[in-house]
Amino acid sequence: MRVELSDEQEFLREAVAGVLARDATPARVREWADARDPTAADELAIRQGWAGIGLAEELGGQGGGIIELAVMAQELGATATPWDRLLGSALALQALGVAGTDAGGELAAAVADGDRAAVLCLDGRRLPAPWPESVLDAGAVTLSADYVPGAAGADLVLPVAADDGVRLLAVDAGQAIATPRPLVDHTRSLASVELTGATAAELGTIAPEGFARAAATSAVLVAADALGAAARLLEMTVAYVADRRQFGVPVGSFQAVKHAAAMMLVDVEAARSAVRYASWAVDSGAPEATMWASIAKIHACGSAPQVADRALFLHGAIGYTWEHDLQFCFKRTKSDELLFGGPDAHRDRIADGLELVATLTPTG
């Protein structure tokens, strides 16, 4: 199947790209990264209404679905704009949208408007999964999560626990210890979250397929972010090798450079196809959507670091300098590779879903 953006989705892409070109320039991103403070980027997203993308209009959102979220994520990745709070909120809205309670609906509308900052409390080191029943004790929650996107500074963290169904809970940030994680990628805002006997409000019970959709969305959005960063690195590299000259000719005329750039293009376009199809599959509830989300994560987040390495190589010594903007997308591809499960973890998920069993063939 060939998945193309509709006119409305293309308009969204152009609108997001236009805003970022104006308000998230490389110089501005450098300021945010040096300060390690994503507040200005979060406020930009709220002003533009991006926090409501993916939530139905009748629920208080901007409408659209996973495809629209992926379109936005790709443009944010291309500019290395900090958006982990927006990512955590987008995943929270996927769960709140199917919670089916008045409290969940009110919170979803407040998050979409930017009045509240709520993030889904998932451990970013591994594949998204509900917390076990053991984290709950008479309505109190005790857990330790690491690398939670957007948790530092959020109003609420939303754990999801497997207890007589998949229960969506809300814990006020005042009861949580959210410690920002220092990363090489200064455009990220990930935090360790500690909850110890925290009082939790019930937001409803989510069907397993509802949580599976949110989990698949996390893979698609991180993959789209990596795709955007890789595409930008390719663009920067082609421009540089066309301008840089050796022996009186552009270095881009050398066969070895052309070959490396061609390999980058192949990786980017393969990732683009995987992300487009996976975003459609998850959005439409297609059979095996979870598998396609994992495939997108494997392709995009596996190939983007390779694109980054080639970009760095083709830029030569200038690419290693702190002053060059290549570093931001380069580091983004590396952090995207591991967030919510690396390629190997997603390959294992696919193998488990297909019930592939290793067998030993007798010899001799």
Which residue shows structure tokens 């410690």?
Answer: 179
Bridge partners of 42, per DSSP, are none
Bridge partners of 113, per DSSP, are none
Please give the pLDDT value at position 43.
Answer: 96
11 vs 18, 181, 280, 333, CA distance in Å? 10, 36, 17, 26
In degrees, rounded to 5, the angle at the alpha carbon of residue 89 between the alpha carbons of residues 208 and 191 is: 100
Report how far residue 260's alpha carbon sits from residue 240's, in angstroms, rounded to the nearest whole number: 13
If we measure between CA atoms, which residue out of 62, 77, 72 comes closest to residue 5? 72
358 vs 298, 344, 345, 362, CA distance in Å? 21, 16, 16, 13
If we measure between CA atoms, which residue out of 174, 153, 156, 169 comes closest to residue 202? 169
Report how far residue 120's alpha carbon sits from residue 276's, in angstroms, rounded to the nearest whole number: 24
Which residue shows structure tokens 């490396």?
Answer: 260
18 vs 5, 6, 25, 77, 328, CA distance in Å? 17, 18, 11, 14, 19
pTM assigned to the model:
0.94
Token reading at 64? 């659209």
Query: CB of 104 within 8 A of CB of 170?
Result: no
The ranges assigned to domains in the chain are: 210-353
Which residue shows structure tokens 């297909």?
Answer: 354
Report helix, strand or coil for 203.
strand
Report how far residue 156's alpha carbon sits from residue 103's, in angstroms, rounded to the nearest whole number: 13
Please give the pLDDT value at position 360.
Answer: 61
The secondary structure of residue 181, as a DSSP letter, is: P
- Annotation: CATH topology of 210-353: Butyryl-CoA Dehydrogenase, subunit A; domain 3 (1.20.140)
Token reading at 321? 């300098």
Report helix, strand or coil for 89.
helix
Please give the pLDDT value at position 356.
Answer: 67
| pLDDT of the chain, 364 residues: tens digit per residue | 667 899 999 999 999 999 999 999 999 999 999 999 999 999 999 999 999 999 999 999 999 999 999 999 999 999 999 999 999 999 999 999 888 889 999 999 999 999 999 999 999 999 999 999 889 888 899 999 999 999 998 999 999 998 777 899 999 999 999 999 999 999 999 999 999 999 999 999 998 889 999 999 999 999 999 999 999 999 999 998 888 878 888 877 788 889 999 999 999 999 999 999 999 999 999 989 999 999 999 999 999 999 999 999 999 888 888 899 999 999 999 999 999 999 999 999 998 888 766 666 666 5
